[in-house]
Structure 1
Amino acid sequence: MMIFNTHKPTPLKPVFLNSIPKSGTNLLIQALSGVPGLKHEPTATFFNSYEYPMNFYRLGKVRNGNFAVGHIYYSEEWSRMLRRLQMKQIFIIRDLRDILVSLCYFIVDKPQYHTMNQLRTYLITHASTPIEQIRLLMTGIQDGDFYYPDFKTWISPFSGWLNDSNTLVVRYEQLVETQESRTQAFKSIANYLDDGTWDKKTMSMIVSSMEANVDPRFCGTFRKGVIGDWKIHFEQQDIETFNKIAGTALRDFGYK
């Protein structure tokens, strides 16, 4: 007779999954949702970095066994809030050039998933090709009353999380480059989440469960997800322009 283990794992303390938009957020949501005793409630989603009292109240309502998700700029206030709530943070990043390309396609091709309608209309009416639209997002827009920041201004406020001691930084490239790199990334995440109660067998089971739960087909915002997609979009002039505008940010995030 086969005996099944019916013991339910103790729910983990709340976790905050933070990310730069278009850096692999949904892939990591799927992976974390594969961790037994951990799930995401869609209402626990954060986009406004600056409403500190309301954000602290909402974060405090995230229960054990749940993780919140957001695109939140670094600030000392946010860092303190997470610590006060004893909430570990996972921050996923990606090559900034791939983020720029993916962001452009997301804005133009996926209007059902965002509210950037004015920006989308501007890109469509002022640029006839994807690379022209990418260039507008790269250099920024100042046209009468309509303003959108250049890419370095848009991306730089996230960089403070890279050196935050309460934050595990995960690179998107680790999750897609090879099976070995993905497994190693998931092991790092599992070790970070562990409260000291998981043995080696449990840890292996959790990593396998994370891997099994990842399926891009069930993510409506997924496009290609390849590494280095920017190389087929950027011309030499775009490489030079990007390096001039955001080259220091690229290095800050650990990409050459």
Structure 2
Amino acid sequence: MKQIFLYRDPRDIVVSFVYYIMNDFQDDPTYSYLAKCTSQKERYLSDIKGMDLGIINYPNISKWLEKFMGWREHTDVHVVRFKDLIDPELQRRTVSSLATFIFKGQKGVDL
């Protein structure tokens, strides 16, 4: 089965995660921990280094990302950088590459 592995720059992941938790998902277990931080930088560093929440141990960003990196090596996985999908100069080539990966070898599809 073909799969698409879409990834982001880890710095963008950290910024998005902290923003999402602080503004849209205050029921998340990390909210209380992040809310106690005295600055945005401290929140980012907490996400980067990991958080010990007592019952739950939220891993550091490197350990969290490690779970997914092996996917890049599979032949049935097409790797796409998120930034390439939103960059006007790279978008067409990226979408074309995705279409080729998805439809290659299918009858009735002319690439």
Q: TM-score range by the shorter chain?
A: 0.7 to 0.9
Residues 78-121 of structure 1, C-alpha deviation per residue, up to 9 Å, x if partnerless?
xxxxxxxxx21011011111111111111211217xx6x22112
Q: TM-score, normalised by structure 2?
A: 0.86
AA paired with 1:188? S
Instruction: Name the CA distance, whole Å, in 1 between partners of 2:29 and 2:52.
Output: 13
Cα distance per residue 1:45-104 (max 9 Å; x no partner)? xxxxxxxxxxxxxxxxxxxxxxxxxxxxxxxxxxxxxxxxxx210110111111111111
Q: After superposition, where does 1:15-164 map in structure 2 within 5 Å? A: 87-111=1-25, 117-124=28-35, 126-142=36-52, 144-164=54-74
Equivalent position to 2:90, from 177, 181, 197: 181
Partners of 1:181 and 1:170 lie apart in 2 by 11
Equivalenced residues, count: 109
Which residue number in structure 2 is paired with residue 192 of structure 1? 101
Greater percentage in helix: 2
State the structure with bigger RCO (CA 8 A, min sep 6), 1 or 2. 2
Change (3 A) 1:131 1:142: same
Structure 1 residue ranges without an equivalent (≥5): 1-86, 201-256
- Structure 2 residue runs of 5 or longer lacking an equivalent are none
| Percent identical | 31
Alpha-carbon separation, structure 1, partners of 2:57 and 2:109: 50
Give TM-score, length-normalised by structure 1: 0.40
Partner secondary structure for residue 160 of structure 1: helix
- Amino acid of the structure 2 residue aligned with 1:122: Y
Per-residue deviation, 1:163 = 0.5
**2:49–2:61 Cα contact (<8 Å) kept:** yes
Matched residue, 1:169: 79
